[in-house]
Amino acid sequence: MNTESPNPETSGSTPSAEPSGAAPGPETPASTPSEEAKAAGAVELPFQAEVQQVLALVINSLYANQEVFLRELISNASDALDKARFLALTREGVAEQAGEPAILITLDDAARTLTIEDNGIGMTRDEVVQNLGTIARSGSLEFLKANAEAAKQKKDGGKLQLIGQFGVGFYAAFMVASRVDVQTRSMLPGAEPVLWRSSGAGSFTVAPGDREHPGTKIVLHLKDDAREYTKVWRIKEIIRKYSDFVHFPIKVNDEVANRSAALWTLPKSQITEEQHAEFFRHVTGGYEGEKPLLTVHLSIDAPVQFHALLYVPEKAPADMFHKDRRGVRLYAKRVLIVEDCDKLTPMYLRFLRGVVDSEDLSLNVSREMLQENRTLSQIEQQIVKQVLKSLKDLSESEPERYAAFWKEFGRVIKEGVTNDWKNKDAIAELCRFESMNTEAGKVISLRDYVAKMPEAQKEIYYVTGLGRHAVEQSPHLEAFRKRGYDVLFLVDPVDEWFVQSLNEFDKRRLKSVMHGDVDLGAEPEKKDEPEASVDAAVAAVKAALGERVKDVRVSRRLTDSASCLVAAEGDPGANFERIMKLIDQNTGESKRILELNPGHPVVKNLNILAGREPGSERVKQWSELLLDQALLVEGVVQEPAKLVRRIQDLLAQVSSAAVSQS
């Protein structure tokens, strides 16, 4: 299944006649004609280099789970039938489908063949060359990559396991067949029948075919050791295992072998976990054994009727950050409209995969019309509500599973707070962060944070930075730590946008410990000790640093360190500016405020010194050092050499004093 719309008119993509990659154009014959080239009018073409690699692996590896070849072929046939229905309903002049849509499997033990036929959309000659000569599936490329990786690491039996993990689509036929013949005819007006044939060794041939009606018939000439696939009981067993949900009848030697109900229309209780896993694999092209992390199955009647069967995968889909990601499949009255409808789920739920089927959509709806469709946006709203609710339920009932979800998709979910204001609060409930009081790698929810707040604490405090290690030792946290207030560590770049959008949670303001003024009141044990004034020190530092800081003031957030830098309320802050610089959006640097700890001996002494010798070299030097150390804890010192010189000078003075005293 590729990600094109089944509607050739609206998909905007025209299948190219040219096989991509290393293969030459379709009319360039491969150098040595082989056995297969003998069909009348046949042209022999090489497979794209990657296909050859996939085929070599498929054919030469002992395949542990060979039977899945049938699932791949049935899946393709089912997709072809979906596309045919859509085309018949939306385009004039296409060839009529002969008979009811169905998938027919014929077994011939004597001839040792398995034939699978569908009366679906079929393929034109160009499409055959493109689809069966190059790699359509991203799964196959991943398979190649994973195989190369396994080979590098020399994993024992790596190949064996790998093929079990990745479906390789149509090419899986070569696991069991020594030759494959594809007779196909497209529904498109004027399309001629085509015969594609290959033994999977480097090349294939295309020749005029003899198919009368649209559809595709694939004959597998089975290998010696694949004779079991001519047995009816065996084939039925495989169909029940993998393809029971396919919503077209699959007939084996004329007997229906599957339930053929659209899985999403069945009552929840009737669907087994295995069926979900299999359907999930079908819609994601995921690998063997992969299961959904969460299933959301909805049947809604009002205001819009629709069924939705949606899955959250365990691992982020490879295309999650691509613009043209694969979305959810949209059906109207059981007819596939688009294979990747991105209008059904917002960007921050872009990891959802599955199917939506509505009675209230017109089959004629085109891709452009979908952009503005009211029904779709109503469906989307319902989906969002239900998915957010299901995630919340999961977080309560299975916190560990939820933690795995958050690790994989948390970053994406957080985007929702910035762009879905309607559901902002529900999304905020789902968010998790590390904090000063959590162990590294463990997270808490905003709700838990609020529940643990001491009575005196009024606001939710956070610090932003480039990682736990970068913020953990920050002097800005000192006063909070002393008072037993927790501080959230917002260390993901997206968190800067998150806090700009979420001003409050549970009626409590979110407040940066690095911004503006914080008034935590006096330290509990120091209630009656009034702080001595350090006005002279503040004035001296201000004079010494001049324009380099926005202001110098007394700090109420420091207990152990002498100084720290804070952003003025409303200013972007150093972390945000650093991120913008990293993504090449230099916003410049806004000046910050240097805060001095009035209880710190260095500040107290500077206060005395500034009174005695205002403007002296020593006073200037100490002032510089107070700024230097505030920058140093943030890991940004612009001129380290100057800093070292200042420290050396100071050490020289201190050491001389120490020696003369002793």
Site for ligand ATP contains 536 (CB under 6 A):
no
320 is in an annotated binding site: no
Cα 75 to Cα 282: distance, rounded to the nearest angstrom? 7
138 is in an annotated binding site: yes
Residue 521: count other Cβ atoms within 10 Å of its Cβ.
Answer: 10
Sole binder of ligand ATP in the list 95, 121, 338, 594 (CB under 6 A)? 121
Which CB, 118 or 278, lies closer to ligand ATP? 118
Sole binder of ligand ATP in the list 39, 89, 136, 404 (CB under 6 A)? 136
Q: Which residues, in sequence order, are bridge partners of residue 357?
A: 307, 331
541 is in an annotated binding site: no
279 is in an annotated binding site: no
Radius of gyration of the chain (CA): 34
Q: Are the C-beta atoms of residues 531 and 572 closer than 8 Å to each other?
A: no
Cα 173 to Cα 229: distance, rounded to the nearest angstrom? 12
Which CB, 137 or 592, lies closer to ligand ATP? 137
Site string for ligand ATP, 33-62 (x = CB under 6 A): ------------------------------
Residue 73 backbone dihedrals phi, psi, to 5 degrees? -70, -35
Residue 120 beta carbon to ligand ATP: minimum distance, rounded to whole angstroms: 5
Cα 284 to Cα 278: distance, rounded to the nearest angstrom? 10
367 is in an annotated binding site: yes
Q: By CB under 6 A, which span of 68-76, 376-384, 421-429, 569-577 interacts with ligand ATP?
A: 68-76
Residues with Cβ within 8 Å of residue 371, at least 6 apart in sequence: 343
Site for ligand ATP contains 216 (CB under 6 A):
yes
By CB under 6 A, the residues from 238 to 297 that bind ligand ATP are: 285
Residue 189 backbone dihedrals phi, psi, to 5 degrees? -55, 135
- Find, among 179, 161, 196, the residue nearest to 57 by Cα: 161
Site for ligand ATP contains 2 (CB under 6 A):
yes
Q: By CB under 6 A, which span of 131-139, 223-231, 394-402, 521-529 interacts with ligand ATP?
A: 131-139
123 is in an annotated binding site: yes
433 is in an annotated binding site: no
Residue with tokens 């069966």: 132
Q: By CB under 6 A, which span of 29-37, 130-138, 501-509, 577-585 interacts with ligand ATP?
A: 130-138
Site for ligand ATP contains 137 (CB under 6 A):
yes
Residue 139 beta carbon to ligand ATP: minimum distance, rounded to whole angstroms: 5
167 is in an annotated binding site: yes
Q: By CB under 6 A, which span of 136-144, 435-443, 562-570, 646-654 interacts with ligand ATP?
A: 136-144
165 is in an annotated binding site: yes
Site for ligand ATP contains 118 (CB under 6 A):
yes
76 is in an annotated binding site: yes
Q: By CB under 6 A, which span of 19-27, 45-53, 94-102, 116-124 interacts with ligand ATP?
A: 116-124
280 is in an annotated binding site: no
Site for ligand ATP contains 420 (CB under 6 A):
no
By CB under 6 A, the residues from 155 to 184 that bind ligand ATP are: 169-170
CA distances, 339 to each of 171, 192, 201, 312, 343 (Å): 22, 26, 32, 17, 12
Q: Is 305 exposed, middle or buried (0-12, 13-18, 19+ CB in 10 A)?
A: middle
Strand pairing class (43-46; 292-300): unpaired
Residues with Cβ within 8 Å of residue 33, at least 6 apart in sequence: 44
DSSP classification of residue 95 = P
Q: Please give the size of the binding site for ligand ATP, defined by CB under 6 A.
A: 21
Cα 346 to Cα 387: distance, rounded to the nearest angstrom? 11
Site for ligand ATP contains 143 (CB under 6 A):
no
Cα 51 to Cα 168: distance, rounded to the nearest angstrom? 10
Residues with Cβ within 8 Å of residue 81, at least 6 apart in sequence: 101, 102, 103, 118, 119, 120, 121, 248
DSSP classification of residue 260 = -
Cα 49 to Cα 196: distance, rounded to the nearest angstrom? 18
- Which structure tokens are listed for 309? 């069967």
127 is in an annotated binding site: no
By CB under 6 A, the residues from 454 to 473 that bind ligand ATP are: none
Site for ligand ATP contains 123 (CB under 6 A):
yes
- Which structure tokens are listed for 316? 């982020």
484 is in an annotated binding site: no
Sole binder of ligand ATP in the list 30, 37, 51, 80 (CB under 6 A)? 80
CA distances, 65 to each of 68, 143, 163, 229, 636 (Å): 6, 15, 8, 13, 56
CA atoms within 13 A on the CB side of 385: 9
Residue 216 beta carbon to ligand ATP: minimum distance, rounded to whole angstroms: 4
216 is in an annotated binding site: yes
Site for ligand ATP contains 188 (CB under 6 A):
no
Sole binder of ligand ATP in the list 6, 8, 26, 139 (CB under 6 A)? 139
Please give the residue ranges that form the binding site for ligand ATP (CB under 6 A). 1-2, 72, 75-77, 80, 118, 120-123, 131-132, 136-137, 139, 169-170, 216, 285
Per the annotation, binding residues are 72, 76, 118, 123, 131, 138-139, 165-170, 216, 367
Per the annotation, binding residues for ATP are 72, 76, 118, 123, 131, 138-139, 165-170, 216, 367
